[in-house]
């Protein structure tokens, strides 16, 4: 499950498509057409049906639809799909979402292309529109996540300078000790599921606080904690990213770190503070809207033995299954895999790759070719979340 970008068609923009892709914000009336091609992406499953009502209203992003546009050459040539079947002007054939994960970081998610037009350059042109929307947010960087084996998505991003930044492996506690026991968490796009998941998170933080594991300004040297974290090899291997919203990452700055301390969401290994072993975790108290409603640490970093001890102590204290991601080959994990597995934590070979692109003068965004893509609405600003 998750919000990674689905496999995208990868032919060049100079395909034989005769009509432009018209990109605009999604509307309520698009639902039937969109879910017709965005409900069975992975083995007859997709999270888009669950995300649909939330993303339509969410203030932190622009949920975009790409529809069939009128040919601009005036030839009157019939518009057809990849198999030569007729298409209708205004017919939705693609979706994507541009979201802000901080005041200056954008995140791309949920790109889907109707199978009838795959191989016609639709995803490539939709990506041009995405970058126009990102630029309108004054973002300094844009990122997205995809599977490590998803070559199509990697090639699509590379067209416009969106390249691999880091790979992350997922770990979770399994009662059976089997990586096949991955569970099937209810969707946190559902408001009732989200409310229940938030209650579980707050109960977990309450238990951790009662166990004296929550960092506070009165009890801990927060400057020292941040210095250790900012220089930690596992943290830097992940480019200082953390996962406050499941399947979406942002940079954990000192300001954000202190905000999570103030909220009582930073967990520390008491015996490690000021000692040779050291580890820190962040558990966000609010379950944000996403497909994953599991109890997931937004961050786990530190020395191997201390990191293992902290993950195990958190799991035992909250008495719930626990998930977290760490950079592939993270120093905290390398050499300690057997210890994590002995504590009941398991992993799979699947990797989540985070791709990134700077948004600056040295990385100009591609120009819009009106024969290929039309922005039906001028990109406007969306709100930045307070993670």
364-384 pLDDT, tens digit per residue, is 999 999 999 999 999 999 999
Domain 21-160+365-375 has CATH 3.40.630.30: yes
Which pLDDT does position 77 carry in this prediction? 67
- Helix (H) or strand (E) holding 298, with range, is none
Q: Is the pLDDT of residue 14 over 50?
A: no
Which residues have C-beta within 8 Å of that of residue 56, sequence separation ≥ 6? 26, 27, 28, 63
Which has more pLDDT, 9 or 284? 284
In this prediction, residue 277 has a pLDDT band, given cuts at 50, 70 and 90, of confident
Share the mean pLDDT of the chain: 93
Which has more pLDDT, 51 or 72? 51
Angstrom CA distances, 68 to 22, 78, 91, 372, stand at 6, 12, 5, 11
Which pLDDT does position 352 carry in this prediction? 98
Beta strands in 29-91 (DSSP E): 61-68
Helices (H), 87-246: 122-136, 151-159, 191-210, 222-230, 233-237
Interval 216-257: pLDDT, tens: 999 999 999 999 999 999 999 999 999 999 999 999 999 999
Which pLDDT does position 273 carry in this prediction? 46
Quote the DSSP letter at residue 76: -
- Percent of the chain at pLDDT > 90 equals 85
In this prediction, residue 76 has a pLDDT band, given cuts at 50, 70 and 90, of low
Which pLDDT does position 275 carry in this prediction? 53
Q: Is the pLDDT of residue 199 over 50?
A: yes
Which pLDDT does position 345 carry in this prediction? 97
Mean pLDDT, residues 13-32 taken together: 88
Which pLDDT does position 187 carry in this prediction? 97
Radius of gyration over every alpha carbon of the chain, rounded to an integer in angstroms = 22
276 close to 310: Cβ distance less than 8 angstroms: no
pTM: predicted TM-score of the whole model, two decimal places: 0.94
In this prediction, residue 181 has a pLDDT band, given cuts at 50, 70 and 90, of confident
In this prediction, residue 75 has a pLDDT band, given cuts at 50, 70 and 90, of low
Mean pLDDT, residues 2-19 taken together: 59
Q: Is the pLDDT of residue 59 over 90?
A: yes
In this prediction, residue 260 has a pLDDT band, given cuts at 50, 70 and 90, of very high
CA atoms within 13 A on the CB side of 66: 29
Q: Is the pLDDT of residue 64 over 70?
A: yes
In this prediction, residue 12 has a pLDDT band, given cuts at 50, 70 and 90, of very low
Quote the DSSP letter at residue 308: H
In this prediction, residue 213 has a pLDDT band, given cuts at 50, 70 and 90, of very high
Going edge to edge, which strands form the sheet with 266-268? 266-268, 279-282, 299-302
In this prediction, residue 78 has a pLDDT band, given cuts at 50, 70 and 90, of confident
Residue 332 has φ and ψ, to the nearest 5°, of: -65, -30
Q: Mean pLDDT highest for which of 15-19, 305-309, 351-355? A: 351-355
Domain ranges of the chain: 21-160+365-375, 170-349
Which pLDDT does position 276 carry in this prediction? 59
Which pLDDT does position 13 carry in this prediction? 43
């Amino acid at each position: 499950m998750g919000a990674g970008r689905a496999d995208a068609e990868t032919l060049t923009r100079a395909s034989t498509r005769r009509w432009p892709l018209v990109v605009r914000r999604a509307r309520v009336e698009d639902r039937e057409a969109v879910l017709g091609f965005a409900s069975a992406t992975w083995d007859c499953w997709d999270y888009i049906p669950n995300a649909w009502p939330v993303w339509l209203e969410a203030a932190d992003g622009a949920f975009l639809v790409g529809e069939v546009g009128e040919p601009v050459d005036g030839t009157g040539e019939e518009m057809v799909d990849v198999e030569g079947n007729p298409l209708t002007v205004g017919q939705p054939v693609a979706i994507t979402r541009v979201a802000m994960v901080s005041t200056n970081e954008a995140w791309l998610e949920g790109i889907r292309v109707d199978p009838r037009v795959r191989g016609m350059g639709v995803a490539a042109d939709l990506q041009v529109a995405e970058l126009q929307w990102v630029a309108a947010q004054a973002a300094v960087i844009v990122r997205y996540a995809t599977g490590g084996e998803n070559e199509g998505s990697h090639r699509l991003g590379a067209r416009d300078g969106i390249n691999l930044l880091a790979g992350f492996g997922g770990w979770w506690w399994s009662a059976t000790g089997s990586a096949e026991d991955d569970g099937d968490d209810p969707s946190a796009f559902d408001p009732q599921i989200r409310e229940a998941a938030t209650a579980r998170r707050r109960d977990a933080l309450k238990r951790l606080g009662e166990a004296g594991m929550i960092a506070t300004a009165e009890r801990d040297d927060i400057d020292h904690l941040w210095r250790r974290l900012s220089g930690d090899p596992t943290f830097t291997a992940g480019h200082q990213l953390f996962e406050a919203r499941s399947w979406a990452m942002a940079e954990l700055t000192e300001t954000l770190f202190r905000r999570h301390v103030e909220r009582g969401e930073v967990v520390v290994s008491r015996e490690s503070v000021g000692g040779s072993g050291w580890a820190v975790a962040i558990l966000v108290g609010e379950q944000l809207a996403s497909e994953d409603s599991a109890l997931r640490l937004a961050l786990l970093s530190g020395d191997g033995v201390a990191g293992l001890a902290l993950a195990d102590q958190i799991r035992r204290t909250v008495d719930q299954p626990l998930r977290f991601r760490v950079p592939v080959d993270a120093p905290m994990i390398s050499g300690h895999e057997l210890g994590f597995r002995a504590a009941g934590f398991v992993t799979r070979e699947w990797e989540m790759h985070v791709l990134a692109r700077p948004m600056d003068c040295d990385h100009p965004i591609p120009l819009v070719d009106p024969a290929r893509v039309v922005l039906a609405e001028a990109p406007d600003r969306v709100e930045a979340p307070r993670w």
